[in-house]
Amino acid sequence: MLDLWYKNAVIYCIDVETFQDGNDDGVGDFAGLIERLDYLEALEVTCIWLTPFYPTPNRDNGYDITDFYAVDPRLGTLGDFVNFARAARHRGMRVIVDLVVNHTSVDHPWFQAARSDPNSPYRDWYVWSKEKPEDAEDGVVFPGVQDSTWTWDEQAGAYYFHRFYEHQADLNIANPAVTEEIQKIMGFWLELGVVGFRLDAVPFLIEYTGLDSHPEGDPHEYLTELRRFLSWRKAEAVLLAEANIPMEMADEYFGRDDRMTMVFHFMLNQHLFLALARGDGRPVVDMLRNTPEIPKTGQWAHFLRNHDELDLGRLSDADREEVFQAFGPDPDMQIYHRGIRRRLAPMLDGDTRRIAMAFSLMFTLPGTPVLWYGDEIGMGDDLTQTERNSVRTPMQWNGRRNAGFSTAPAERLIRPVIADGPFGFLGLNVEEQLDRPESLFEQVRRMVRERRSHAEIGWMPYEIVDAREPAVVALSRRSKDGQILTLHNLANRAVEVRLDVPEGPVRVHRLLADGESDLHGLEQGTARLAPYGHAWIKLEPRG
C-alpha cells in the first residue's frame, strides 16, 4: 500500500491566537499551544492545520500578512514555532500551515516599495491600472463590506487590484520573481518541519485578472508547478486547496495526480447543510453521485464548519433560503449575501444527538475529515463580534477564569470568551466533557479512533446503499475481510431501514452507534435508527 498518510488522517484546525495563551498577555501563542498538545493527543487527531500565524496588522484574522518568513511576535518566535513542530511530531502529529500567497497586506514592505517607486523591482509584484477598470465592482468576495476590487493608491498614482479587502493587494503570479518567492516561502516552512500547506483562495491565486500580459496556456498549470516543487522538497508533503469549485472543475484542480493532493469539498458541505435543514439524506446522496472520480492519490477533504462563514453560494436561491431559514434566520446571522456566520452546535440547537450524527456522517464521507477547534465540544458563537470573528472565540477549556484560555484581565483578551447562555464556558468546556462517556467530546473521540482503525473508509471505493428510507445516508466499503456499513438518520424521527445483506451467514460487529438505535435485525438486513441516529457496522462472513 502506498504511504498516503493523508488518506487516513484526521485534521484539526487551530487558530493559535485563540487556542491557549501561554504568557498571560491575553493572546493565544505557541507556548500555550505546546501545553495543549496533550489534549490533541487525547482526541487522537493526526494532523494539525494552523491558520496564519505570521506578522500581520490583523485586519483579516492574519490573512493579511506583512512577512512570510516570521511568526507574529504576539504569538511567539520562530524558535517557539520549531519547538511546537517538534513536539507535535514527537506525538505523531503532522503539521500543515496556511499558505496565503494570493495577496499580501498593503503594509507588507513589498507593497510599500511598489507603491512608492514606479521603478522599484517590486512594482510588478502587484497588479496595477492607470484607469479604473469597468468591471471593478464585479467579483468582490465580501459583498456588503467591500465595494470594489480596484482601489486608487494616491502614492502610486494608480489603481491596484485586490480580490479581497482593499488592505490585501493581490500578488502578480505572472511575474516569475513572485512565483520564485512563493517557492522560497514553501521551502522555508518545509525545512521547519511542516508537511504541507492549506493553500488559501486557490481559484484567485491562479487568475490573471487585471494583467496586461501573462503566460499563455491554462493557468491551472501553475498548480502542477507548485506540486512539483513541493514533492521535490518533501515527498510526503501535501497541498490542501481552499477552492469552492463546481464539480466540472475538479479535474483542473486534481490534475493527473500532479496538482492538488486534497481539495475541500465545498459543494458537498453546502448540500450536507441542506440535508440537515430538511432532515433528508438525499441532498448528500445526490451530491456524492455528482462528485466525479478523482486521481488515485487525490482526496477530498470534508468539514462541517471552518473558520469562515458557512458558504452557501453554490446552492440554488431556494435551497439557500431553506438553509437560512433553518440555521440562520436573523439577518445578523447571515453574511456576504451567501453564508451563515454561526458555529455548528448553535445551528443544531445544541442537540448533542444531532451534532454527533453530523460529525459521524462527516467522518464517514469518502475523504479526509477536518475539524474546526471547539466544534468537538459543541462551542457556540458570538454574533456581537464583527463578520467571521463570531466563530473565532477563545477555546473553552474549563469553568475557571476566562475559560482557562488566559489569566489576563478579561478586557485584554484577544476576543471575549463566551460566558452567557447555553454555550457559556461555565457549563460548556473541555474539562466537563472529558471522560463523560456520552459527552460530545467523548463521542467525537470514539469516531476519530474508529475512523483511524478502519483505513478503508478513507481509502477504498464506496457504494451508496439503498436503505429504503430517504432520511438515511447509507454507505458501504468493502475490504478483503468484510464490509463496513455506515448509517445516518438525518431526520428527527425513528426510521426503519432495510438493506440487502451479503449472501450467506454474516457476523455483525457494532463499531460505533448512538445509544438508542436498534441494530439487532441487521443479520437479516433490518435496523431501526433512532431520531438523528447513527451507526458504523462491520459485516464479516461467518465461518
Cβ nearer to Mg ion, comparing 22 with 346:
22
Supply the minimum distance, in Å, between the C-beta of residue 50 and Mg ion. 15
| CA–CA–CA angle 528, 8, 477 (5° rounding) | 40
Supply the minimum distance, in Å, between the C-beta of residue 30 and Mg ion. 9
Cβ nearer to Mg ion, comparing 21 with 153:
21
**Beta pairing partners, 507:** 540
Among 15, 17, 29, 207, binds Mg ion (CB under 5 A): 29
Cβ atoms 508, 492 nearer than 8 A: no
Cα 102 off chain centre by: 18
Pick the catalytic residue: 29, 153, 242, 311?
242
Instruction: Establish whether 200 is a catalytic residue.
Output: yes
**Beta pairing partners, 479:** 482
Report which DSSP code applies to 525: T
Cβ nearer to Mg ion, comparing 396 with 489:
396
Supply the minimum distance, in Å, between the C-beta of residue 414 and Mg ion. 9
Task: Please list, residue by residue across 315-331, b when 16 or more beta carbons sit within 10 angstroms of its beta carbon and e when fewer do.
Answer: beeebbebbbebbbeee
Task: Compute the distance between CA of residue 112 and CA of residue 120 in angstroms, rounded to an integer.
Answer: 10
Cβ nearer to Mg ion, comparing 21 with 44:
21
Residues 37-66 touching Mg ion, rule: CB under 5 A, are: none
Question: What separation, in Å, do the N-terminal and C-terminal C-alpha atoms of the chain show?
Answer: 27
Cβ nearer to Mg ion, comparing 71 with 323:
71
Instruction: Establish whether 242 is a catalytic residue.
Output: yes
80 binds Mg ion (CB under 5 A): no
Is residue 495 packed enough to be buried (19+ CB in 10 Å), middle (13-18) or exposed (0-12)?
A: buried
Which residue number has the CB closest to Mg ion? 29
Say how many residues touch Mg ion, by CB under 5 A: 5
**Beta pairing partners, 238:** 196
Supply the minimum distance, in Å, between the C-beta of residue 399 and Mg ion. 21
Cβ nearer to Mg ion, comparing 21 with 207:
21
Supply the minimum distance, in Å, between the C-beta of residue 418 and Mg ion. 19
Residues 9-28 touching Mg ion, rule: CB under 5 A, are: 21, 23, 25, 27
**Could you tell me how many residues make up the chain?**
543
Cβ atoms 19, 373 nearer than 8 A: yes
**Joined grid coordinates for residue 337:** 449575501
Supply the minimum distance, in Å, between the C-beta of residue 27 and Mg ion. 4
Task: Compute the distance between CA of residue 46 and CA of residue 120 in angstroms, rounded to an integer.
Answer: 45
Pick the catalytic residue: 64, 200, 311, 376?
200
Residues engaged in binding Mg ion (CB under 5 A): 21, 23, 25, 27, 29
**Residues recognised as catalytic:** 200, 242
